[in-house]
């Protein structure tokens, strides 16, 4: 027995997460961690979904920052002259990697292909004329492609969500359109333009016709009849070598394309022309019409979270240590998405939090970032140093170090110098396991990314983008 999860259900699940973030129902944070190397060659392993992996991710966590910026995204395909693009097809489950049907232009405008250019033999030809403009109607460029404008990216959305691999996509919601009809609106100029595209969408349109069998013996173009529960769709066939090679929707003198409206079901009848055997199928747009919801047109089931930690983020993120405490920098090798992390005060609401535990020793001047420190017990407690300041040694443990506790009074060494553990932080009692901000044992780990080391410094801002796809 075979089965699938449909796009509407994927969209519903994605929308649930999106609403949680935008309505602050739940708190989402992007975290960074793991300061120790993967191995001597820094070979990055693939993460797994095993409880052991998640436990070690928690153990190595350094800092978290709010990921309140979120957007639906689609794969990025830049328009390029000389490329072949296929048309939107209701038989596709996603935008194809090869010959995609949606493009981003250098003007940060997104267009969808409704009709592929073909020669008389029915062979696809290249796109040589960049689509431009913000018309609410489909339009044909001189190279034969039929396009429809969907939306433009603002500088802010491009900065937050545009990447080498992804393009943000959204629907302008009615809740954002305050008194739109009276001329008073909360929308930007670009959002108003997209809203006009949404409002102009025509439900139940036939956006294309695909020839499935060319037939034989045709001496002239046969009559194409579209049958269904809608009205006004019309198309014309082209014949070459005795076969029907393409069928295109008719265009009027005012460049309107006869896509009709109101179709839920439709079929194509091909008659006359002196031949037989030609067959074709209709391609229907989304129920609400092309442009009504770009997320549907572009089949988006992915959302991107964005966070940009800058420098030390008010001392919650680690940066390079060039002081007397040694260390050449602070680095991380893991990125994660966390839902509803907690501190001793409840669910974290601050913009950022440090997650590391700390020790206060009699001297920290000789400890350095990335040191492996131990105590003098048998077996010894071991930990990796992540940060050193005048009072504290911030550290983490994992499976490789073990999780044996350091206790007040312990002698701590990095192998060359020693110090005495004199305090483990407020409220820690005799235990060294004191959390300054986020309690790493809390929160749902939803995403894990292993990567090559990233060294942070005080003048640096990371642009961290996490994409979840259903």
pLDDT tens, residue by residue, 47-106: 999 999 999 999 999 999 999 899 999 999 999 999 999 999 999 999 999 999 999 999
pTM of the model: 0.89
Instruction: Output the 3-class SS for 374-413.
Output: ECCCCCCCEEEEEEECCCCEEEECCCCCCCCCCECCCEEE
Task: Say whether 59 sits in a helix, a strand or coil.
Answer: helix
Q: What is the pLDDT of residue 56?
A: 92
pLDDT, one tens digit per residue, over 426-436 is 433 334 444 55
Q: What is the DSSP letter of 469?
A: E
pLDDT, one tens digit per residue, over 236-267 is 999 999 999 999 999 865 568 899 999 999 99
Closest residue by Cα to residue 96 from 106, 108, 86: 86
**What share of the chain in percent tops pLDDT 70?**
93
Tokens at residue 463, please? 């642009």
Contacts of 306 (CB under 8 A, 6+ apart): 67, 69, 70, 71, 160, 161, 463, 464, 465, 466
Residue 266: count other Cβ atoms within 10 Å of its Cβ: 20
Kindly report the backbone phi and psi dihedral angles of residue 198, in degrees, each rounded to the nearest multiple of 5, phi listed first. -60, -45
232-129-81 Cα angle (round to 5): 125
Q: In sequence order, what are the beta bridge partners of 305?
A: 70, 466
- In 3-state terms the chain splits into helix, strand, coil percentages (rounded to 5) of 10, 35, 50
The region that residue 44 occupies, defined by phi over 0 for left and psi between -120 and 50 for alpha, beta otherwise, is beta
Q: What is the pLDDT of residue 181?
A: 53
Alpha-carbon torsion 80, 84, 85, 91, what sign? negative
Please tell me the distance from the alpha carbon of residue 421 to that of residue 395, in angstroms, as a whole number: 13
CB 368 within 8 A of CB 329: no
More confident position, 75 or 326: 75
Tokens at residue 364, please? 């920290």
Kindly report the backbone phi and psi dihedral angles of residue 332, in degrees, each rounded to the nearest multiple of 5, phi listed first. -145, 155
User: What is the separation, in whole angstroms, between the first and last Cα of the chain?
Assistant: 22
Burial of 39 (0-12, 13-18, 19+ CB in 10 A): exposed
370 pLDDT band (50/70/90 cuts)?
confident
Mean pLDDT of the chain: 90
CB 44 within 8 A of CB 451: yes
pLDDT, one tens digit per residue, over 3-25 is 988 888 888 899 998 999 888 88
Please tell me the distance from the alpha carbon of residue 186 to that of residue 188, in angstroms, as a whole number: 7
Q: What is the pLDDT of residue 184?
A: 62
pLDDT, one tens digit per residue, over 446-458 is 999 999 999 888 8
Mean pLDDT of 142-149: 96
- Look at residue 274 and tell me whether its pLDDT is greater than 50: yes
Q: What is the pLDDT of residue 147?
A: 96
323 pLDDT band (50/70/90 cuts)?
very low
Length of the chain: 470
Q: What is the pLDDT of residue 435?
A: 53
DSSP H or E run through 259:
strand 259-261
pLDDT, one tens digit per residue, over 374-384 is 998 888 999 99
């Amino acid at each position: 027995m075979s089965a699938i999860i449909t796009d509407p259900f994927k969209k519903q699940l994605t929308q649930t997460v999106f609403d949680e973030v935008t309505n602050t129902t739940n708190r989402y944070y992007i975290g960074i961690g793991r300061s120790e190397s993967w191995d001597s060659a820094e070979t990055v392993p693939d993460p797994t979904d095993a409880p052991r992996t998640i436990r070690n991710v928690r153990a190595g966590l350094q800092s978290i920052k709010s990921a309140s910026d979120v957007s639906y995204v689609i794969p990025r395909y830049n328009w390029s002259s000389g490329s072949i693009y296929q048309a939107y097809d209701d038989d596709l489950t996603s935008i194809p990697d090869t010959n995609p049907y949606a493009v981003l232009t250098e003007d940060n405008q997104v267009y969808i292909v409704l009709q592929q250019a073909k020669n008389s033999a029915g062979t696809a030809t290249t796109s040589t004329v960049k689509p431009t403009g913000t018309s609410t109607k489909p339009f044909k460029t001189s190279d034969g492609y039929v396009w429809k404008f969907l939306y433009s990216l603002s500088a802010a959305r491009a900065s937050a969500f545009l990447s080498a691999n992804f393009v943000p996509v959204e629907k302008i919601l009615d809740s954002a359109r305050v008194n739109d009809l009276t001329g008073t609106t909360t929308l930007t100029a670009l959002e108003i333009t997209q809203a006009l595209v949404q409002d102009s969408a025509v439900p139940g349109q036939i956006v294309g016709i695909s020839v499935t069998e060319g037939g034989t013996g045709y001496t002239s173009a046969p009559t194409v009849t579209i049958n269904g529960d809608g009205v006004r769709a019309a198309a014309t066939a082209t014949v070459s070598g005795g076969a029907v090679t393409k069928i295109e929707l008719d265009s009027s003198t005012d460049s309107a394309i006869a896509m009709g409206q109101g179709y839920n079901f439709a079929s194509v009848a091909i008659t006359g022309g002196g031949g037989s055997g030609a067959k074709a199928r209709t391609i229907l747009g989304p129920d609400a019409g092309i442009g009504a919801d770009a997320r549907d047109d572009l089949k988006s089931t992915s959302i991107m979270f964005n966070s940009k930690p800058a420098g030390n983020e008010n001392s919650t993120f680690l940066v390079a240590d060039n002081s007397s405490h040694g260390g050449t920098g602070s680095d991380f090798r893991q990125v994660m998405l966390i839902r509803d992390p907690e501190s001793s005060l409840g669910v974290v609401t601050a913009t950022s939090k440090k997650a590391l535990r700390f020790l206060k020793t009699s001297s920290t001047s000789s400890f350095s970032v990335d040191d492996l420190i131990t105590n003098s017990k048998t077996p010894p407690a071991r930990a990796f140093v992540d940060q050193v300041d005048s009072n504290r040694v911030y550290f983490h443990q994992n499976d490789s170090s073990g999780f044996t506790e350091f206790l007040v009074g312990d002698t701590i060494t990095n192998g060359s110098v020693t110090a005495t553990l004199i305090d483990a932080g407020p409220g820690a009692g005799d235990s060294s396991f004191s959390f300054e901000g986020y309690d790493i044992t809390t929160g749902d780990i939803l995403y894990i990314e292993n990567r090559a080391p990233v060294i942070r410094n005080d003048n640096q801002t990371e642009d961290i983008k996490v994409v979840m796809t259903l």
